[in-house]
């Protein structure tokens, strides 16, 4: 005899065991968020950009009499804006936010019975502050140790407004390839996450999804099937592979062509369109609205948030086409009040990281500081403001000043005397100049670009001392100028004819590289008739008149000269000789 009591008890144990083994939970999932750098207010997490956030999906007990939900072997899909992460049993996850805009985080959990639970939370990241007014008063470069003024400037508030983007436009047209076994040729999704959690299609009205639009072209509309899959995998047929062999848009009718044609916009709308595509027999189906094959109300009961996936299948290989993009259009009444967010920044929470001192905060949007940088090269300063709305998140910008050593150029670093060498200042910040030709033996010039004459051999250690407008001074690196001189010598001539014919009218010694020169000319009686007191007079020569006065001309005959000189090379020269004057 059947023991009903024992049988009932055994059945109860089996159910309990099943519940334990399968971890069946009557639950609606929600997000619990932990973060070292975030603040949770109501259903919104406030965090700084760059923060790694720990997310955990925790079950919230909620009795659902007709649905059992098991989190064993459940598939967790996390949506961070357009970024998607998913995996089995991924009930915890870490994610780093790098964009500085607010967003929604959406979680979809599907158990092994294909039961789906959804959860959503707001993420408000600190909005990027406008720091474009931050600047320095330094010019292109500055003197080492000179004062620089730094002005940190920012706008008091940044505002943001959420508007859902329900469109996917391909960067380049996507070719719709034909694949075997009627598999999809094209598939992509649009993530919608702005509806309240749990909002179902048909909750408010039957026409919540207004239309689905595609931008495409194809050489045979008859071969193309278009479908839309909802977040809970409900599949709606928008266009079947049937009808007439006509164009969609203006394609390049060549199955080997890799060039896209001109797309038309086709929308599937069951409330305003009057016909389906399969009844169009024109050469090309006109762009406009058409009835879908399945009614869009087939999505009734579908979650509004999640992946809406477009599927296009090309059923025949002997044709070609391209998709340019597609759109979802819900009725405006479906959306929540648009989500707005703002960040505020104030000078009391701003700072300069490097300057020697902070001068003042002139108002609520500026902070002035000064410094005297002493490092050559780029000196960087960071100005930081903090968001008072989102947990004092930092926003910063960098400005820099270039500290440069004085510089100059020379037209030659090696030359043979006598020579003129040009010195050119190339220091951007210099307004006053001191030039030293030989270390610091004395200032040789004070103009910006001097020219120096060299007669003597040697190595000249030349440098520039430059001054800024404020009086800051610095020395340039020394440039060595090497001056060489040829061998000193005097070549004599033994005849000249001062007859004014333009040929050999002046008696000159060929003097090479002499520093000093003194000489005399005598007649045969021993009378001195001309004197060279210096090198310049010797270079002028003797014109054949008494002491070059031109009035008393010397007679033809033999004359004698004697001179002593010191060459630029330091060699002493003493010599006497004679020459003939011919008239």
Query: What is the CATH number assigned to the segment(s) 408-484?
Result: 2.60.40.10
Count CB atoms within 10 A of the CB of residue 575. 13
**Fold of the domain spanning 13-125:** Immunoglobulin-like (2.60.40)
Task: Delimit the domains of the chain by residue range.
Answer: 13-125, 135-160+342-401, 167-334, 408-484, 489-581
SS3 547: helix
Q: Do residues 270 and 208 touch, judged by C-beta distance below 8 A?
A: no
CB atoms within 10 A of CB 464: 26
Show the low-confidence residues of the chain (pLDDT under 50). Answer: 1-28, 63-66
CATH code reported for the domain at 167-334: 2.60.120
Residue tagged 């033999």 (tokens): 558
How many CB atoms sit inside 10 A of residue 98's CB? Answer: 9
DSSP state of 339: P
* Chain centre distance of CA 141: 22
pLDDT per position as a tens digit, 526-567? 999 999 999 999 999 999 998 888 778 999 999 999 999 999
* Both structure tokens of 380: 């960087």
Q: Domain spanning 135-160+342-401: which CATH class is it, in words?
A: mainly beta
**DSSP β-bridge partners for residue 167:** 327
Q: Count the Cβ atoms, other than its own, within 10 Å of residue 190.
A: 20
Angstrom distance (rounded) from CA 562 to CA 542: 13
pLDDT value at position 457?
84
Enter the CATH code of domain 489-581. Answer: 2.60.40
Judge whether 13-125 and 489-581 match in fold.
yes
Pairing of strands 44-47, 39-41: antiparallel
C-alpha to C-alpha distance for 175 and 218, rounded to whole angstroms? 10
pLDDT computed for residue 22 by the predictor: 30
Residue 12 has a pLDDT of 25
Rounded CA separation 129/395 (Å): 6
CB atoms within 10 A of CB 444: 15
């Amino acid at each position: 005899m059947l023991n009903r009591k024992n049988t009932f008890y055994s059945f109860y144990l089996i159910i309990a065991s099943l519940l334990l083994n399968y971890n069946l939970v009557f639950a609606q999932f929600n997000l619990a968020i932990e973060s070292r750098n975030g603040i949770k207010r109501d259903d919104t997490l406030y965090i700084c950009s760059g923060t790694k956030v720990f997310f955990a999906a925790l079950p919230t007990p909620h009795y659902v009499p007709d649905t059992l939900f098991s989190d064993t072997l459940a598939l967790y899909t996390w949506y961070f804006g357009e970024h998607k992460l998913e995996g089995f049993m991924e009930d915890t996850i870490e994610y780093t936010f790098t964009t500085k805009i607010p967003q929604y985080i959406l979680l979809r959990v599907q158990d092994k019975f294909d039961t789906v639970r959804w959860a959503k939370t707001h993420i408000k990241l600190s909005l990027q502050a406008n720091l474009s007014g931050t600047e320095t008063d330094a010019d292109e470069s500055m003197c080492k140790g000179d004062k620089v003024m730094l002005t940190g400037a920012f706008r008091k508030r940044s505002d943001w407004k959420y508007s859902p983007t329900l469109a996917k436009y391909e960067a380049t047209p996507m070719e719709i390839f034909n694949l075997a076994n009627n598999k999809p040729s094209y598939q992509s999704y649009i993530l919608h996450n702005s509806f309240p959690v749990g909002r179902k299609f048909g909750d408010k009205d039957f026409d919540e999804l207004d239309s689905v639009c595609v931008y495409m072209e194809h050489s045979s509309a008859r071969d193309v099937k278009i479908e839309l899959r909802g977040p809970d995998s409900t599949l709606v047929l928008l266009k079947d592979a049937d009808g007439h062999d006509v164009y969609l848009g203006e394609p390049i009718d060549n199955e080997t062509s890799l060039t896209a044609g001109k797309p038309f916009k086709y929308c599937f709308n069951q409330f305003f369109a009057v016909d389906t595509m399969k009844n169009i027999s024109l050469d090309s189906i006109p762009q406009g609205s058409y009835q879908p094959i399945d009614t869009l109300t087939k999505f009734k009961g579908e979650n509004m948030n999640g992946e809406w996936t477009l599927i296009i299948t090309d059923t025949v290989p002997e044709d070609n086409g391209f998709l340019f993009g597609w759109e979802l259009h819900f009725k405006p009444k479906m959306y929540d009040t648009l989500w707005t967010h703002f960040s505020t920044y104030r000078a009391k929470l701003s700072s300069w990281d490097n300057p020697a001192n902070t001068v003042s905060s002139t108002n609520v949007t500026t902070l002035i500081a000064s410094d005297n940088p002493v490092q050559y090269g780029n000196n960087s300063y960071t100005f930081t403001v903090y968001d008072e709305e989102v947990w004092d998140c930092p926003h910063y910008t960098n400005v820099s000043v270039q500290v440069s050593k004085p510089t100059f150029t020379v037209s030659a670093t090696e030359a043979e005397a006598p020579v003129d060498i040009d010195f050119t200042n190339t220091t951007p910040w210099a307004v006053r100049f001191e030039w030293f030709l030989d270390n610091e033996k004395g200032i040789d010039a004070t103009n910006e670009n001097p020219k120096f004459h060299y007669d003597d051999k040697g190595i000249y250690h030349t440098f520039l001392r430059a001054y800024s407008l404020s009086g800051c001074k610095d020395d340039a690196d020394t440039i060595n100028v090497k001056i060489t001189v040829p061998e000193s010598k005097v070549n004599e001539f033994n005849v000249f004819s001062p007859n004014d014919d333009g040929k050999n009218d002046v008696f000159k010694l060929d003097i090479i590289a002499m520093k000093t020169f003194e000489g005399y000319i005598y007649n045969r009686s021993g009378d001195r008739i001309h004197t060279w007191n210096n090198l310049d007079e010797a270079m002028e020569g003797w014109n054949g008149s008494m002491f070059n006065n031109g009035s008393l001309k010397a007679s033809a005959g033999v004359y004698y000269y004697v001179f002593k000189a010191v060459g630029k090379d330091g060699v002493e020269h003493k010599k006497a000789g004679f020459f003939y004057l011919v008239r």
